């Protein structure tokens, strides 16, 4: 006599990369997991990058939470809010009321989809606002102070707008992965004819490809000096291996009320040496910097 075929199968084991307690529904909604709970190569790389970034941000969240009992975070250029949702799922959903994540994104369709997903998952401490980074700085929909500001692959000047937002919101921590910065390169290119005979250093950006790459490098140097001129301690490292992404520089800044005079002077000297004085408003320093120390 043949036995009846067993129809009740145990649920498939989750991929080893998925952290314990992670919402499986969320990972499927973000298309990181397939419908049957699997990871393809592209989503495995994406999940690895988000978790790696989480490892940088988690200590900052704990730092604020320990002091205040709550924590607020703004994610600029949120896109589909992969980072925000993962942060909420792994850290925020277990917190008391008062902690909140704000996703800032200009594309209203993405804001609507993220809002709907947060409601469906019961992530009540998440809000999504259809604003540019610059608009969010003066928006009444955000609180006057924010604890942590993130901006991942915010293109060109959007990273600088995120820094401006964080400075004006008195953020304790910033986590930045700059992308496609072209403004400094444009100024270098515009002034190239005037500056070529001024110094041998101009050979660094004489050729167009070098103008682009050097401009990108200098942009992040200026950002770091600006943050230090505002009293922040700055660390620069790789986010992931270069084989995964060329937009790979991770800048983490923590406010420590450090001496401001030297980085302020260095910032001004670098801009003067490279013919970037017209960008002083972009990389501004506090008025009180010259009286500090």
Residues 97 and 202 in one domain: no
Residues 71 and 166 in one domain: yes
Q: Does 290 reside within a domain?
A: no
Residues 206-222 have pLDDT tens digits of 898 998 899 889 999 99
Q: Does 293 reside within a domain?
A: no
103 compared with 292, residue with greater pLDDT: 103
Domain count, the chain: 2
The pLDDT confidence band at residue 42, using thresholds 50, 70 and 90, is confident
Decide: pTM greater than 0.95.
no
Q: Does 218 reside within a domain?
A: yes
- Between β-strands 249-255 and 232-238, what pairing exists: parallel, antiparallel or unpaired? antiparallel
Q: Does 161 reside within a domain?
A: yes
Percent of the chain with pLDDT over 90: 58
Given a contact cutoff of 8 angstroms between Cβ atoms, the answer to whether 284 and 226 are in contact is yes
Task: Examine the fold and report which residue of 148, 175, 202 is the final residue of a domain before the chain moves on.
Answer: 175
Residues 164 and 198 in one domain: no
Angle between helix 41-68 and helix 82-90 axes, rounded to 10 deg:
60
Dihedral sign for Cα atoms in the order 257, 260, 263, 267: positive
- Report the distance separating Cα 69 and Cα 73, nearest Å: 14
User: Largest alpha-carbon pair distance within the chain?
Assistant: 96
Nearest-Å Rg of the Cα atoms of the chain is 22
- What pLDDT is stored for residue 244 in this prediction? 45
Q: Does 276 reside within a domain?
A: yes
Q: Does 9 reside within a domain?
A: no
Residues 170 and 51 in one domain: yes
Q: How many residues does the chain have?
A: 293
Over residues 202-208, the mean pLDDT reads 87
- What pLDDT is stored for residue 168 in this prediction? 97
Ramachandran angles phi, psi of 47, nearest 5°? -65, -40
Facing residues of 76 across strands? 104, 151
In the Cβ-directed half-sphere of 154, how many Cα atoms lie within 13 Å? 29
Instruction: Give yes or no for residue 100 having a pLDDT over 50.
Output: yes
Given a contact cutoff of 8 angstroms between Cβ atoms, the answer to whether 216 and 246 are in contact is no
- Report the distance separating Cα 7 and Cα 143, nearest Å: 54
Residues 225-276 have pLDDT tens digits of 999 999 999 999 987 654 444 567 899 999 999 999 999 999 999 999 898 9
**Matching residue, tokens 């850290």:** 91
**Matching residue, tokens 């993405």:** 110
Residues 11-39 have pLDDT tens digits of 456 777 888 888 889 988 888 888 887 88
Residues 143 and 207 in one domain: no
Over residues 191-206, the mean pLDDT reads 77
Residues 128 and 229 in one domain: no
What the block records as the tokens of 140 is 């009444």
Residues 144 and 54 in one domain: yes
Host H or E run for residue 50: helix 41-68
The pLDDT confidence band at residue 68, using thresholds 50, 70 and 90, is very high
Task: Examine the fold and report which residue of 129, 147, 175 is the final residue of a domain before the chain moves on.
Answer: 175
Task: Examine the fold and report which residue of 175, 203, 219 is the final residue of a domain before the chain moves on.
Answer: 175
State the distance between the two ends of the chain, measured CA to CA, in whole angstroms.
91
Residues 163 and 22 in one domain: yes
Q: Does 228 reside within a domain?
A: yes
- What pLDDT is stored for residue 32 in this prediction? 86
Residues 86-97 have pLDDT tens digits of 999 999 998 988
Laid out side by side, the sheet with 249-255 consists of 126-129, 100-104, 72-76, 148-155, 173-179, 249-255, 232-238
Residues 114-169 have pLDDT tens digits of 999 999 999 999 999 999 999 999 999 999 999 999 998 877 788 999 999 999 99
The pLDDT confidence band at residue 183, using thresholds 50, 70 and 90, is confident
Range of the domain at 97: 17-175
- Report the distance separating Cα 66 and Cα 213, nearest Å: 41
Host H or E run for residue 238: strand 232-238
Residues 44 and 81 in one domain: yes
Residues 256 and 217 in one domain: yes
Q: Does 33 reside within a domain?
A: yes
Residues 140 and 256 in one domain: no
- Report the distance separating Cα 121 and Cα 67, nearest Å: 29
Residues 171 and 185 in one domain: no
Tell me the CATH number at 137: 3.40.50.150
């Amino acid at each position: 006599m043949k036995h009846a075929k067993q129809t009740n199968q145990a649920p498939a084991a989750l991929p080893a990369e998925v952290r314990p307690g992670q919402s499986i529904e969320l990972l499927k909604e973000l298309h990181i997991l397939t419908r049957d709970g699997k990871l393809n190569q592209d989503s495995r790389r994406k999940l690895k990058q988000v978790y790696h970034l989480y490892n940088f941000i988690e200590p900052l969240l704990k730092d604020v939470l320990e002091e205040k009992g709550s924590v607020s975070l703004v994610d600029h250029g949120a896109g589909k809010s992969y980072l925000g949702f993962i942060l909420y799922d792994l850290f925020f959903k277990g917190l008391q009321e008062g902690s909140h994540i704000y996703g800032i994104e200009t594309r209203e369709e993405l804001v609507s989809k993220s809002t709907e997903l947060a409601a469906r998952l019961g992530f009540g401490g998440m809000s999504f606002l259809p604003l540019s980074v610059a608009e969010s700085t003066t928006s009444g929909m955000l609180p006057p102070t924010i604890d942590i500001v993130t901006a991942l692959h915010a293109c060109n000047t959007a990273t600088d707008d995120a820094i401006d937002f964080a400075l004006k919101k008195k953020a304790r921590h910033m986590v930045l992965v700059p992308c496609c910065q072209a403004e400094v390169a444009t100024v270098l290119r515009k002034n190239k004819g005037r500056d070529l005979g001024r110094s041998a250093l101009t050979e660094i950006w004489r050729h167009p490809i070098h103008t682009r790459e050097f401009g990108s490098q200098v942009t992040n140097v200026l950002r770091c000096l600006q943050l230090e001129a505002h009293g922040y301690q700055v660390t620069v490292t790789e986010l992931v291996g270069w084989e995964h992404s060329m937009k790979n520089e991770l800048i983490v800044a923590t406010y420590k009320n450090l001496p401001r005079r030297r980085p302020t002077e260095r910032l001004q000297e670098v801009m003067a040496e490279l013919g970037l004085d017209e960008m002083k408003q972009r990389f501004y320093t506090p008025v009180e910097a010259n009286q500090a120390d």
